[in-house]
Amino acid sequence: MKVLFIGSRLYDDVAYHVDKLGIESIITESNEEAPNLDLATKYYIVPRGMEKPMEVAIDENVDAIVPLLGIDPPLMAVALMKEEIEEKHNIPVISSNVNAVAIASDKIKTKKFFKSIGINVPPANVLKKDDFETEEEFIEKLGFSFPIVLKQGEGQGGKDICITKEFSDVLDYFENFDEALIEKFIEGSEVSIEVIGWNGEYLPLVPVYKGETNLEGIHPIKRLRYGPCDFKDIGNDEFRKLAKHIATNLKSEGTIDMDLIYSKKENKVYAIEINTRPSGTRYLSFACTDLNPLNLLVDIASGNFNVESLEKDMKDYYTLEIPVGDYEGPDPQEPLKEYLNGNFIVHGPKGYQRITIRGNTREETFEIAKELTGNDYTI
Ligand SMILES: Nc1ncnc2c1ncn2[C@@H]1O[C@H](COP(=O)(O)OP(=O)(O)O)[C@@H](O)[C@H]1O
Ligand SMILES: [Mg+2]
């Protein structure tokens, strides 16, 4: 069995699993300074784009391709490559197709998609710079009032997002953009959930909690997060059902996640975003369920994905994830990205490191956090 991995930056997540399965691994990577290159059997430094990886896949006669890309821009090129290489060379690519990527990579299309399958979305409108002059006119055209969230169709990690109560910020925003997707600000709890899909079968993992939406616009990647969710009026099965409904209709493949806002006041879930790539919350999902989302992609590549039995294997641990910047606690044990010999994983680049902790109870995760960092965390 031979698998091509596109991108080396996330490869250490799967390295242990790939070796354990005896898979021959090839990485293509465009940055020769990128980490993890030596963890594969073989690697190629290639120009950006999917032309060369496709050539390598064909020349090397690989059995499958697993894209491991943590950013949005290359996803459409990957999807186009998938279309071609699956059809012409019968090499499966474990990621989403063109249609799913087109919907997820544009927040305006995502919204239409959510609506079309009966999912709640925050009230929204698309306005152009010339659509209004005064605040009154702006609010009239918008159809709702402040606070609001201005966004662009494309973006991740809070890029080009402005959350505000002030019309002056709107004017500033339109200095930089001609058009914006403008949503009503929803007060609520931010939740993410991943779904692994292949061949029409979908496995939703676990809803994780990422903190409350806020007018300061602090993005969830900067917050303490935990899993699974524990809301009083909505069970985690409901989130899993919703996630499965979304993935099934999107016809996603490989790993995706969705960003949701749960309003306790209304007991209502709003969907805001879908990402058709490895999730920023994958370590939390892994800690809770004992299913490593990226290892599951490797399993799919090796023809091994049975939702029914995975549902049975899924565990119920608790997890806590803390942004620490630079981790200085006790050394994690090998393998570094698995929970085999320890109860925590340190990940992310220096300066932006996070610790994901696994425990049998929520209290235990906080105790471990204190041992590792010396700090008391509360939620
Ligand atoms: N309608 C909304 N109401 C409240 N907060 C929002 C809303 N839309 C976005 N946000 C905040 O902005 C963050 C980023 O928005 P999102 O659409 O997920 O874009 P990104 O691709 O940058 O993650 C969200 O995680 C949330 O904190
Ligand atoms: Mg988001």
Give me the pLDDT at residue 368, please: 97
How do residues 71-124 score in pLDDT, each as one tens digit?
Answer: 999 999 999 999 999 999 999 999 999 999 999 999 999 999 999 999 999 999
The answer to whether residue 340 sits within a structural domain is yes
Which ligand is closest in space to the CA of residue 149?
A: 1
Find the distance separating the first CA and the last CA of the chain, reported in whole Å: 45
Can you tell me the distance from the alpha carbon of 254 to that of 328, in angstroms, rounded to the nearest whole number?
34
Could you tell me if 215 and 198 lie in one domain?
yes
- The verdict on 197 and 318 lying in the same domain is yes
Regions in the chain scoring below 50 on pLDDT: none
Task: Provide the 10 A C-beta neighbour count for residue 17.
Answer: 19
Q: Is 87 buried (19+), middle (13-18) or exposed (0-12) by CB count in 10 A?
A: exposed
Q: Does ligand 1 have an atom closer than 6 angstroms to the CB of 3?
A: no
pLDDT in the model for residue 148: 98
Residue 202 is encoded by which pair of tokens? 């979908």
Residue 108 within a domain: no
Res 219: pLDDT: 87
Residues 223 and 327 in one domain: yes
On whether both 162 and 200 belong to a single domain, the answer is: no
Looking at the structure, tell me whether residues 216 and 339 fall in a common domain.
yes
Q: What is the Cα Rg of the chain in Å?
A: 21
Residue nearest to atom 15 of ligand 1 (CA): 158
Q: Which domain holds residue 173?
A: 123-184
Question: 63: Cβ below 6 Å to ligand 1?
Answer: no
Q: Nearest 5 degrees, angle CA 9-CA 98-CA 67? A: 20
Structural domain count of the chain: 3
Q: In this structure, are 85 and 178 located in the same domain?
A: no
Which element (helix H / strand E) includes 66?
Answer: strand 64-67
pLDDT number for residue 87: 98
* Residues 179 and 194 occupy one common structural domain: no
Q: Is 323's C-beta closer than 6 angstroms to any atom of ligand 1?
A: no
**Structural domain contains residue 36:** yes
Q: Which atom of ligand 1 is nearest to the CA of 151?
A: 17
Is the CB of 190 inside a 6 Å radius of any atom of ligand 1?
yes
Is residue 101 one of the residues assigned to a domain?
no
* Same structural domain, 147 and 275: no
**Does one domain contain both 137 and 241?**
no
Short-list 100, 28, 95, 86, CA closest to 66: 95
> H or E element: which one contains 76?
helix 75-89
Note whether 178 and 197 are same-domain residues: no
Ligand 1: atom nearest CA of 155 is: 21
b/e 200-235 (16+ beta carbons within 10 angstroms → b): eebbbbbbbbbbebeeeeeebbebbbbbbbebeebe
The CATH number covering residue 308 comes to 3.30.470.20
